[in-house]
Amino acid sequence: MSKLDELIRELCPDGVEYKTLGEIAVDIYRGAGITRDQVTVEGTSCVRYGEIYTTYGVWFDKCVSHTDEAKLTSKKYFEYGDVLFAITGESVDDIAKCCAYIGHEKCLAGGDIVVLKHNQDPKYLSYVLATTDARQQKSKGKVKSKVVHSSVPAIREIKVPIPPIEIQREIVRILDDYTENIVKLQNQLTAEITARQKQYEFYRDKLLTFDVLRGGTIDFQWRMLCEIADISTGNSNTNEAVEDGKYPFFVRSQEPLRKNDFEYDEAAIITAGDGVGVGKVYHYVKGRYALHQRAYRIHINTPEVMPKYYFHYMKAKFLPYIQKTMFQGSVASIRRPMLNAFPVPVPPLDVQNRIVNVLDNFEKICSDLNIGLPAEIEARQKQYEYYRDKLLSFKEHEDGLSN
């Protein structure tokens, strides 16, 4: 029998009392607004509601933001043990996400935050308020819209199991250990993906380095891109696309959208003509596709160059080249002369074919990792959530009294 089972048998053999947060609250109140331009590098520690969604987990002990409280007209503080709820958000499922503060500073709570003061274990409350049952209570009656709101009265009505403090602390110990193991696994898998990607880029750059001094292939000829390819921008004067279209429609983003008509039928390389994707965004496409007018298509027009070979070469070498030569206006952009003059080494076709085979296989390995490892992380996360929910499900004491 585990220690937790022993505690439950000893302290609450007939079940656990369920209480609303309003019943266990010593105090519960809303924070006061702290605008983005009032956040400073130094000053009084503070939390803005968006950080509860993006920055903090079940608990935190240090604030990432600070402010000059002398410039605030209204101030609401929180301190050790308080639980913070974000009562504005974009998702019904995530509304009223909460976290427990276990640091030792007196901090400021921003607007759209509800502060719960209580006498329970703060981590326990934060864990139990993340369960499926608690989240369903938080989202009850909420309607999907651009912005979703909760309130102090809604927070008060959330009902959770409140076992004796000894049981709360044992559950916290178990879940803290489990969470730590999940984080370690995530770090290991992320490191594996990063290492494989760096390994791929190293060998890719080695394979695509052709001068003698660097130990590369010497049997090749330099060509300007305009000598081996047709280069043009697209003609589609719209960003409109549909999900179930028959052909890919390439805009300036990382992923292709879909469009019902088409303008090209070929093998080509696509890159952005301007914006944040300049020099970074590439697609290799075969067959029919449409192309936005602010993207470039590069269609290899000579049998001396394999399109897939050029695609790999461009991925490896184009970004450093374009960063030195692109037009730096209000929006960074590629001018046609830059593309025309891009130097491309052209080795024999059998060399190109070997390079393509090696890099295609390496890319597949990296792609499989990028799919498989995140899937493993997601599976472990779901396993944790299932275990957490089971651990925090108690038989309810029938008459509302626990020993």
pLDDT tens per residue, range 315-371: 888 888 887 776 666 567 788 888 899 999 999 999 899 999 999 888 888 777 777
Residue partners of 116: CB distance under 8 A and separation at least 6: 21, 25, 27, 28, 82, 83, 84, 85, 98, 125, 155
Contact (CB, 8 A) for 44 and 86: no
Give me the pLDDT at residue 333, please.
75
Give me the pLDDT at residue 218, please.
57
Give me the pLDDT at residue 252, please.
43
Neighbours of 254 (CB within 10 A): 11
> What average pLDDT does the structure give for the chain?
85
Give me the pLDDT at residue 131, please.
95
Q: What is the pTM of this model?
A: 0.70
Contact (CB, 8 A) for 66 and 46: yes
Give me the pLDDT at residue 92, please.
92
Query: What is the pLDDT confidence band of residue 66, given thresholds at 50, 70 and 90?
Result: very high
Give me the pLDDT at residue 255, please.
44
pLDDT at 272 over 70: yes
Tokens 């709101």 map to which residue? 149
- H or E stretch including 336? helix 336-340
**C-alpha–C-alpha distance, residues 356 and 313, integer Å:** 10
pLDDT at 402 over 70: no
Kindly list the strands in the beta sheet with 282-291, ordered across the sheet, starting from the edge strand earlier in the chain: 229-233, 295-300, 264-272, 282-291, 247-250, 257-259
Give me the pLDDT at residue 183, please.
85
Give me the pLDDT at residue 291, please.
77
**C-alpha–C-alpha distance, residues 328 and 346, integer Å:** 30
Give me the pLDDT at residue 339, please.
87
CA angle 270–275–278, rounded 5-degree value: 45
Three-state SS for 283? strand
